[in-house]
Copies of this chain bind each other. A is one copy, B any other.
Amino acid sequence: MEFQNIFPFWEELNERERTLVSGGVLSQKMKKGDILHRGCGECSGIVHVAQGQLRVYIVSEEGREVTLYRLHQGELCVLSASCLMDAIVFDVLIEAVQDSELVVLPSPVLSDVMHGNPLVELSLYKRVVENFSDVMWTMQQILFMGADRRVAHFLWDEMAKTGDTTIHLTHEEVARFIGSAREVVTKVLKYFVEEGTVALSRGKIEIIDKEKLRSYL
| Cα–Cα distance between A4 and B136 once the two chains are bound (Å) | 31
A140 touches B58 (CB 8 A): yes
Chain A contact residues, majority secondary structure: helix
A135 touches B133 (CB 8 A): no
| Cα–Cα distance between A45 and B142 once the two chains are bound (Å) | 30
Given A87-B126, A125-B125, A60 and B133 touching (CB < 8 A)?
no
Interface range for A:
20 to 34
Give chain B residues whose Cβ lies under 8 Å from the Cβ of A122. 118, 121-122, 125
In the complex, how many angstroms separate the beta carbon of A26 from the nearest chain B beta carbon? 26
| Cα–Cα distance between A14 and B60 once the two chains are bound (Å) | 46
In the complex, how many angstroms separate the beta carbon of A62 from the nearest chain B beta carbon? 7
In the complex, how many angstroms separate the beta carbon of A86 from the nearest chain B beta carbon? 7
| Cα–Cα distance between A66 and B118 once the two chains are bound (Å) | 35
Encode A138-168 as 1/0 by CB contact (under 8 A) with B: 0110111000000000000000000000000
Give chain B residues whose Cβ lies under 8 Å from the Cβ of A132. 87-88, 90, 128-129, 132, 135
Give chain B residues whose Cβ lies under 8 Å from the Cβ of A128. 125, 129, 132
Give chain B residues whose Cβ lies under 8 Å from the Cβ of A126. 86-87, 125
Give chain B residues whose Cβ lies under 8 Å from the Cβ of A118. 118-119, 122
Given A121-B122, A122-B118, A136 and B66 touching (CB < 8 A)?
no
In the complex, how many angstroms separate the beta carbon of A121 from the nearest chain B beta carbon? 6
The listed residue (B60, B64, B119, B129) touching A129 by CB distance below 8 A is B129
In the complex, how many angstroms separate the beta carbon of A176 from the nearest chain B beta carbon? 13
Q: Chain A residues in contact with chain B, CB under 8 A?
A: 58, 60-62, 64, 66, 85-90, 118-119, 121-122, 125-130, 132-133, 135-137, 139-140, 142-144, 179
15 further A-B pairs in the complex, CB-CB below 8 A; given A64-B143, A125-B125: A58-B139, A60-B143, A61-B144, A66-B139, A66-B143, A85-B129, A87-B126, A87-B130, A89-B133, A90-B132, A118-B118, A125-B126, A129-B129, A132-B135, A135-B136
